[in-house]
A and B are shown apart, each in its own frame.
Chain A
Amino acid sequence: MPSNEVMTERELITRREAVFRVTALLGGVALVGGSALLTACGEQRQANPEGPFTAEDIAFLDEVADTILPATSTPGAKAAQTGAFMAMMVNDGYDARDREIFRKGMRTIDDATQKAHNVSFMKATPQQRLAVLEVIDREQKSYSDARREEQRKKSLAWLSDQRQESAPGANAGAATAVTEKPSAHYFRMMKELALLGYFTSEIGYTQAQRYEESPGRYDPCVPYKPGEKSWAPHA
Chain B
Amino acid sequence: MPKTEYDAIVVGSGISGGWAAKELTEKGLRVLLLERGRNVEHIKDYVNATKGPWEYPHRGGRTKSMEELYPVLKRDYPLNEKNLSFWASDKDSPYTEVKRFDWYRGYQVGGRSLTWGRQSYRWSAFDFEANLRDGIATDWPIRYADLAPWYDHVERHAGISGSHEKLPQLPDGQFQPAMPLNCGEELVAGRLGKLFDGRRHIIPGRVANLTRQLPDRLDCQYRNACWLGCPYGAYFSTQSSTLPAAVKTGRLTLRPLSIVSEVLYDRARKRATGVRVLDAVTEQTIDYHAPVIFLCASTLNSTWLLMRSATDVWPDGLGSSSGELGHNLMDHHFRAGAEGKLEGLDDKYYYGRRPNGFYVPRYRNLFGDKREYLRGFGYQGGAGRDGWSRAVAELGVGAQFKDAMSQPGGWDIGATAFAEMLPNHANQVSLDQTKKDKWGLPVLKIDCATGENERLMRRDMINDMAEMLDQCGVKNVEPFDYGSFPGMGIHEMGTARMGRDPKTSVLNAHNQVWDAPNVFVTDGSCMASSACQNPSLTYMAITARAADFAVNELKRNNL
> Which chain A residues have a beta carbon within 8 Å of chain B's beta carbons?
1-6, 8, 10-12, 14-34, 37-39, 41, 45, 67-70, 72-74, 76, 85, 88-89, 92-95, 130, 133-134, 137-138, 141, 144, 148, 155, 158-159, 162-164, 167, 169-177, 188, 191-192, 195-197, 199-202, 204-205, 208-209, 213-235
Contact = CB atoms under 8 A, between A and B. Distances in A.
B389 A162 contact: no
A90 to B, nearest CB: 11
Contact of A32 (B346, B392, B458): B392
30 contacts: A1-B97, A14-B389, A15-B414, A16-B480, A18-B339, A22-B357, A28-B60, A34-B392, A37-B61, A41-B71, A89-B58, A89-B61, A144-B393, A163-B459, A164-B459, A172-B450, A173-B333, A173-B335, A173-B481, A197-B59, A199-B388, A202-B54, A213-B50, A215-B223, A220-B183, A224-B346, A229-B407, A231-B351, A231-B353, A235-B225
B393 to A, nearest CB: 6
Contacts of B60: 27-30, 200, 235
Nearest to A193: B392
B57 interface: yes
A93 B67 CA distance: 9
Interface string B385-415: 1111111110111110111011110001111
A4 to B, nearest CB: 6
A178 B131 CA distance: 37
Contacts of B221: 214-216
Contacts of A31: 389
A235 B82 CA distance: 9
B406 A209 contact: yes
B2 interface: no
B65 A92 contact: yes
Contact of A45 (B68, B335, B392, B393): B68
Contacts, number: 324
A230 B406 contact: yes
B483 interface: yes
B64 A39 contact: yes
A168 B168 CA distance: 35
A228 B348 CA distance: 11
- Per CB-CB distance, the 10 closest pairs between chain A and chain B, nearest first, are A22-B357, A173-B483, A22-B382, A27-B80, A221-B183, A218-B352, A19-B414, A224-B349, A215-B352, A175-B481
Interface of B: 50, 52-54, 57-65, 67-68, 71-72, 74-77, 79-82, 97, 99-100, 117, 179-183, 186, 205, 220-227, 333, 335-337, 339, 346-358, 380-393, 395-399, 401-403, 405-408, 412-416, 449-450, 452, 454-455, 458-459, 462-463, 478-485
Contact of B351 (A155, A173, A177, A218): A218
Nearest to A142: B395
A114 to B, nearest CB: 19
A172 B416 CA distance: 14
Contacts of A158: 481
A186 B149 CA distance: 60
B428 to A, nearest CB: 16
B455 A196 contact: no
Given A27-B80, A202-B54, A215 B351 contact: yes
Contacts of B408: 224, 228, 230-231
Contacts of A155: 480
Contacts of B406: 74, 208-209, 229-230
A24 B225 contact: yes
Contact of B455 (A89, A169, A199): A169
A130 B347 CA distance: 32
Contacts of B179: 218
Given A4-B100, A92-B65, A167 B455 contact: yes
A68 B401 contact: yes
Given A3-B100, A15-B478, A172-B484, A223 B347 contact: yes
A5 to B, nearest CB: 7
A157 B24 CA distance: 55
Contacts of B348: 221-224
Nearest to B82: A27
Contacts of B485: 171, 173
A25 B117 CA distance: 7
**Residue from the set A1, A18, A172, A226 with the largest chain B CB neighbour count within 10 Å:** A172
Nearest to A134: B397
A200 B53 contact: yes
B331 to A, nearest CB: 11
B339 to A, nearest CB: 5
A8 to B, nearest CB: 6
Given A167-B455, A215-B222, A218-B222, A16 B482 contact: yes
Contacts of B333: 172-173
Contacts of A73: 403
B216 to A, nearest CB: 19
Contacts of B449: 171
Given A195-B405, A214-B223, 10 more contacts: A6-B75, A11-B393, A23-B380, A27-B82, A70-B399, A171-B485, A172-B484, A195-B388, A202-B54, A235-B53
A174 B483 contact: yes
Contacts of A204: 54, 388
A34 B138 CA distance: 44
B52 A205 contact: yes
A75 B358 CA distance: 37
Contact of B58 (A29, A163, A218): A29
Nearest to B72: A4
B382 A70 contact: no
B457 to A, nearest CB: 9
Given A67-B397, A159-B480, A219 B64 contact: no
Contact of B395 (A2, A137, A197, A200): A137
Contacts of A197: 59
- From B223, B350, B482, residue with most partner A Cβ within 10 Å: B482
B397 A27 contact: no
